[in-house]
Structure 1
């Protein structure tokens, strides 16, 4: 029997243009299910200019629901995350219509599914009434921003009532803590990561001469919350400027967001234009990883960490035990530095430049570590479908 999976997400990529609508990493999960033989539909908000229905070459179907008219004025879902402050007044005005439209769209689509995979706790909350009505299980993958966005009591309510929680965050500190804080039916599964083979290529190969040493940072350029500050976007250029006085290298910043203007000003203030490039958002970051000397990443098992480690590059990341947990250890499988310190980041970058052979060994250990927690779509698809079949049989 072919399992029919409905994926719920507030953002999902498109083949139509080069803008980011979030959820690029969810495409790998959808592909994994489809490759393993499932029928996969994704329900996600509509954004101006995008088709209401779209089908990827791998068979994954996308259904986008409208929530405001005229559709050209829909503001809740655009190229910025839903929780960003862009178009804030419009978002607040449209949010009730958005939630109601999402709720009823879930009901319409859920009738034709065997199981629902909700990403982020707010989408699971909207699916729970239909789980009770249709007797179709809702499984949840929490992502982090949702646990920070909603009150703890509400997240606990949602997690307790889902048919299962896909426990994909391994031995990271916050995952260990969350299993105690949010009781639920947890099922241990690997993360599913994009690979160069299944990523959407932008023909960016051969970016730089291989003789140049490039540090690469990939991520949203935003600060404010603790986790956003941990990513270290604002200390990149000060750290690079200090280190560039004694070493030659290039710093490539790949990403976009509210802090981009701040970083552009920093680059001028530090006279860093010759060795710092801000590339903006890229759909496919693998060419940057593959050509990098080392990758300056965030913490835990984030998408950047997964993809950079799979490319066997040394990871330079904040030493934050509450996120790294038992996964990352200094100079064993990653180079850790004191969070939010430009001096500490410069010192970590200097270590990689001055110890290339040891850094290669650390990168190899990092690759071995990531293989323990993360699998490709081809490797993980059957494992997920087997888990879904068990959940469906129990829920009937």
Structure 2
């Protein structure tokens, strides 16, 4: 089969789909499958002019809203770029963003197009304070899910929690498949080490949805209670300056290293002890699986796809969203008892290797792809 993996922007960012798809493609190509990668360059802006129409709703009732207008213009740009660059056909197209999926089906109506929806753009915007809940932008973006159901051949998502979220916006949620993300075991693996002071690490975009403000407050409690630590904070984003100022005011700036953006955090993640990320929402939370494969103990929030990865007090610790005392207590447990921390990390590594290996996801996707194989 000749398969196209259609992304949104190029896979430059670490984590999630951006890091997974190129390695997935490499695995398939080595096994003799014909597979290519396609995406919209970030430099392409305001090139597309073709009108956009959806079958299940009239997007023009939302026109004039900046986020809606930008989304539609990006859709037009994706059409323009695809027509400009794509000069061959495929047996199957696997899209990884709603715009990519809908554009590919529009331009290749006879080709099966499936989509993996990896995250909720409207939830991210809401949690980050960019749009109001249930507002114009929210209604537009959630309407896209029904359009995907109507137009594409199959919807897949990375967690049961996100499947339940999508159920509100589609007519046949039972048809949505679940295939958790897979990770290359050669990229993410433990490294023997011993740290005198517990090294905490988190990797994320610095936006309100990731709950780093809650983490800083919990770290302030750790310091107040006499628990030494270092927090390595990898990532950049619009609230970095605000978080740095918060760390200064909480008197924990000396305990934190703000690295900014890093292309390959997995290169030195294994040398730390605990991965912690108190997200306010996660469709799957790929970075938890990556950290587990690096041999770290896990501390996360009981939200979205995270509880599908962490079984509380078996392979990690779960705390309620926004609960500073609970997060501080969880961190105290893993800092104060190295043996307990090691046991959590060992079981987390076993689970991640079994459940989230790239080998596993390749096998699951093969089964899906073969259902669209043309009869010889």
2:119 counterpart residue number: 144
Unaligned runs of 5+ in 1: 49-65, 70-87, 200-204
- Is 1:123 equivalent to 2:106 in the alignment? no
Quote the offset at 1:139 in angstroms: 0.8
The separation in 1 between residues aligned to 2:72 and 2:177, in whole angstroms, is: 33
Q: Residues 327, 118 of structure 1: CA spacing in aligned structure 2 closer, same or farther, 3 A cutoff?
A: same
Q: Residues 42, 393 of structure 1: CA spacing in aligned structure 2 closer, same or farther, 3 A cutoff?
A: same
Q: TM-score, normalised by structure 1?
A: 0.73
1:6 counterpart residue number: 4
Quote the offset at 1:36 in angstroms: 2.8
Counterpart secondary structure, 1:7: strand
Q: Residues 325, 218 of structure 1: CA spacing in aligned structure 2 closer, same or farther, 3 A cutoff?
A: closer
Q: TM-score, normalised by structure 2?
A: 0.77
Q: Residues 25, 156 of structure 1: CA spacing in aligned structure 2 closer, same or farther, 3 A cutoff?
A: same
The separation in 2 between residues aligned to 1:383 and 1:32, in whole angstroms, is: 13
The separation in 2 between residues aligned to 1:273 and 1:178, in whole angstroms, is: 40
2:31 counterpart residue number: 36
> Deviations along 1:112-141, whole A, 9 cap, x unmatched?
322111112232122222342xx1110100
1:351 maps to which of 324, 333, 348: 333
The separation in 2 between residues aligned to 1:323 and 1:283, in whole angstroms, is: 24
2:133 counterpart residue number: none
Q: Residues 110, 304 of structure 1: CA spacing in aligned structure 2 closer, same or farther, 3 A cutoff?
A: farther
Q: Residues 153, 124 of structure 1: CA spacing in aligned structure 2 closer, same or farther, 3 A cutoff?
A: same
1:1-396 aligned within 5 A: 3-14=1-12, 23-48=18-43, 66-68=44-46, 96-107=72-83, 109=86, 111-132=88-109, 135-146=110-121, 148=123, 150-169=140-159, 172-178=160-166, 182=170, 183=172, 185-195=175-185, 197-198=186-187, 210-223=195-208, 228=209, 231-245=210-224, 246-297=226-277, 298=279, 299=282, 301-320=284-303, 322-324=304-306, 326-376=308-358, 378=359, 380-393=361-374
1:173–1:323 CA contact under 8 A, matched in 2: yes
1:28–1:192 CA contact under 8 A, matched in 2: no
2:157–2:176 CA contact under 8 A, matched in 1: yes
The separation in 2 between residues aligned to 1:175 and 1:129, in whole angstroms, is: 25
Quote the offset at 1:379 in angstroms: 5.1
Q: Residues 244, 35 of structure 1: CA spacing in aligned structure 2 closer, same or farther, 3 A cutoff?
A: farther
The separation in 1 between residues aligned to 2:320 and 2:360, in whole angstroms, is: 35
Higher alpha-carbon deviation: 306-315 or 328-337 = 328-337
Indicate the RMSD between aligned Cα atoms, in angstroms. 3.4
The separation in 1 between residues aligned to 2:168 and 2:74, in whole angstroms, is: 32
The separation in 2 between residues aligned to 1:186 and 1:300, in whole angstroms, is: 14
Unaligned runs of 5+ in 2: 48-64, 124-137
Quote the offset at 1:19 in angstroms: 10
1:137–1:392 CA contact under 8 A, matched in 2: no
Quote the offset at 1:361 in angstroms: 1.9
Q: Residues 368, 6 of structure 1: CA spacing in aligned structure 2 closer, same or farther, 3 A cutoff?
A: same
2:40–2:78 CA contact under 8 A, matched in 1: yes
2:315–2:347 CA contact under 8 A, matched in 1: yes
Q: Residues 146, 4 of structure 1: CA spacing in aligned structure 2 closer, same or farther, 3 A cutoff?
A: farther
